[in-house]
Homo-oligomer: A and B are copies of this chain.
Amino acid sequence: MTQRVRVHCFTVTQDGIGAGEDQSFERPFGHADPGALLGWAEATASWVNRTDPGGTRGLDDYVVRDFTRNIGAEIMGRNKFGPIRGPWSNYDWQGWWGDKPPFHTPVFVLTHHPRPSFTLSDTTFHFLDATPHEALEQAKAAAGGRDVRIGGGVTTIREFLDADLIDEMHIAVAPYELGSGLRLWDSPEELTGSYHLERVPSPSGVVHHFFWRH
């Protein structure tokens, strides 16, 4: 099986914005409301952070289940890893996710300021000052034959799209506009030169956008 490079369950607004401005420790998505972006996924039975046995098992759940299917490594940007910019003054920050991050694989964090790798539960974070191609080479080697997820944020997904490295992508479009922030696209149509695009409206209100290569 060929290793694939995939984006899953990344949510943007109708105006294409995946994170608001002024990210901080208290507001990982800046001025964007995380619930308005991620509520569709949090309501599902398979949501990675679910702790009770409830949740929906319709379309959105099928999509959420795929977040972990056959994934062997994730690549994320530094701003998905945390709100701190520039050189590290210490290594106290270990991500937003507590002692049990929902990745369960090696995670490669792209940053101009590498720091030592560390492990929390079954997730090991590595830090790379590397191009998308170089990072992907390392992530594929670490993935044990499985696929690599490009975890975001917007800047990282754009870099991998621009380098033509993404095979398959699921973007959920939430039914509101944000006006400003980090923009993934002006329109998903921009990608249809390289990808098939299937739009599927969900009863939850988001519209799933499935992309795969021509």
Name the contact of A59 in the complex, choosing from B2, B168, B200 (C-beta under 8 A): B200
- For A55-97 the 0/1 string (1 means CB < 8 A from B) is 0111100110110010000000000000000000000000000
Q: How far is B69's CA from A200's CA once the two chains are assembled, in angstroms?
A: 22
How many copies of this chain are found per oligomer? 2
- For A109-140 the 0/1 string (1 means CB < 8 A from B) is 00000000000000000000000000000000
Q: CB-nearest residue of chain B relative to A1?
A: B53
Q: How far is B202's CA from A35's CA once the two chains are assembled, in angstroms?
A: 27
Q: CB-nearest residue of chain B relative to A169?
A: B57
Name the contact of A200 in the complex, choosing from B66, B168, B202, B210 (C-beta under 8 A): B202
| A198 close to chain B: CB less than 8 A | yes
Q: How far is B213's CA from A56's CA once the two chains are assembled, in angstroms?
A: 9
> Which of chain B's residues have a CB closer than 8 A to the CB of A100?
none
Cβ B200 vs Cβ A57 within 8 A? no
> Which of chain B's residues have a CB closer than 8 A to the CB of A203?
198, 200
Q: CB-nearest residue of chain B relative to A170?
A: B62
Cβ A56 vs Cβ B200 within 8 A? no
Q: How far is B198's CA from A201's CA once the two chains are assembled, in angstroms?
A: 12
Q: How far is B66's CA from A63's CA once the two chains are assembled, in angstroms?
A: 10
Q: How far is B58's CA from A63's CA once the two chains are assembled, in angstroms?
A: 10
Cβ B59 vs Cβ A210 within 8 A? yes
Cβ A212 vs Cβ B62 within 8 A? no
| A149 close to chain B: CB less than 8 A | no
Cβ B168 vs Cβ A210 within 8 A? no
> Which of chain B's residues have a CB closer than 8 A to the CB of A58?
196, 198, 200, 210, 212
Mark A residues whose CB is within 8 Å of B. Answer: 2, 45, 53, 56-59, 62-63, 65-66, 69, 168, 196, 198, 200, 202-203, 208, 210, 212
Given contacts A45-B212, A57-B210, 18 further A-B contacts (CB under 8 A): A2-B53, A56-B198, A56-B212, A57-B168, A57-B196, A57-B212, A58-B198, A58-B210, A58-B212, A59-B198, A59-B200, A59-B210, A62-B62, A62-B210, A65-B66, A65-B69, A198-B203, A200-B203
